Amino acid sequence: MQKRQKITLAVTFILVGLILGLTISSSFNIQTHGNTQEPKISQEAVDILSRSSKAMAEVTAAVKPAVVNISTSKIIKSPVQNHPFFNDPFFRRFFGDDFGPAQKPKDRKQSNLGSGVIVNRDGYILTNNHVVKDADDIRVRLSDKREFKGKVIGTDPKSDVAVVKIDAHDLPYLRIADSDKLQVGETVIAVGNPFGLSQTVTSGIVSAIGRSNVGISDYEDFIQTDAAINPGNSGGALVNVRGELVGINTAIFSTSGGYQGVGFAIPSNMAKSIMDSLISKGKVVRGWLGVSIQPVTAEIMKQFKLKDEKGALIGDVMEGSPAEKAGLQRGDVITEMNGKEVLDPSSLRNLVAGIGPGKDVMVRFLRDGKQMTATVRIAELPSDPQARAAVKQSQALQGVSVQNLTAEMRANLELPKRVQGVLVTDVEDGTPAEAVLQKGDVIMQVNRIDVRTVKEYEAALQRVKGQGISLWIWRNGGALFVVIPQK
């Protein structure tokens, strides 16, 4: 009996083990099978991405026909380099000046590739000045493979904009958008011919606007983008999601010569203004205010009791200039021009340049901490760049020697009659002022107090308290402010 019970119990354990084994095995097989299934993507996600992809494809298809390939060439004459033996006076004395082999300069053809944007159905094309500069022959290739000879209508090296014309009509072209409405983070598409590869499209966002002091051109107000821009893209189109032209691709910031996520484009508003001027007048006409300007630094902000470092500080006002006629003075800080905020000297310079001569504009400025306004009639920028001013920083006045101006000194320095002050005759090595003041500088004001003699200069220094010293000086034909923090 006990033996039978033991057998029955053993059989039961075996059956239970088999059942558990099959269950675990089945479960494992199901789990393994589940892991090998393809991941599921919701139809909603597919629809969203499909619509986005289709939209980008539509914009690209609409834009590409208006972007052209520009190839240029110019002939460079290589100078003849004879062996020094043939130029030896000893041999020329006996054999004459014709001694030596007769050689002619060798011509060498230099080619360049770039891009352009058709902005008019009658064949006007926007591109960069550096794409067509000094070219003897310009060839424009359209997206439909047609090729035309290009003619330069005008160039503006100061902004790196050029206008080229081809003899064709009813061409596809891009509508020019208002680049002032462009926002950081907005999606943009770059179209061009990098490395000679025609009709290349890249996309990205607007990384920044109003970029200046990049060192590419004199007038800079660049759109920065991470859309890939490479050599050959110069002159190509930067467009928004509506297929409108917002910029002309110009340059990249790179340590390797290739794309590193930082590209620059000339805003369409600037490019259009320059193009219109080149077409209608044959030159670029820029506005002129007649002031020398400099940034508002932290030191100047404290000295002039300003709330922030925004604006452009007037270092000097030119005689007979629009600024002088409107009552602007040195020491004023311009904060707004023609309804647009002035952030720094570059933004003011670009704003004034873009205003047509003869137009009256309202200027907001700070004077002694008070908000003021004036109406200025903008004039045309003269050919003599007298309104340009250099800005330098300073630290201290220790080690600075000055003396009264004599008639002979004034004549040697060619100082205007209105320049009155003391002449800097020495700046000791190793002093903070060494990096700022120079021999030949004329200090005209100390903390807004006029100084005409050494005695007045020393008296003004005695009145300096706490925050530091601001100087108004004359250097190399122009006036500027410098601030020296007190130690």
Of 160, 221, 226, 332, which is the active-site residue? 160
Q: Which residues of 393-406 are buried (b: 16+ CB within 10 A; e: fewer)?
A: ebbbbeebebeebe
Indicate which residue of 159, 179, 207, 234 is catalytic: 234
Q: What whole-number distance in Å separates Cα of residue 40 and Cα of residue 286?
A: 61
Q: Residue 13 — φ and ψ, nearest 5°?
A: -60, -40
In 3D space, the residue among 223, 219, 212, 282 whose CA is nearest the CA of residue 248 turns out to be 223
User: Which of 152, 149, 150, 192 shows the shortest CA–CA distance to 174?
Assistant: 192
Known catalytic residue at 180: no
Q: Look up 292 and say whether it is catalytic.
A: no
Question: Is 83 among the residues known to form the active site?
Answer: no
Dihedral sign, CA of 12, 14, 15, 20?
positive
Contacts of 197 (CB under 8 A, 6+ apart): 232
Name the catalytic one among 130, 159, 344, 346: 130
- Residues labelled catalytic: 130, 160, 234
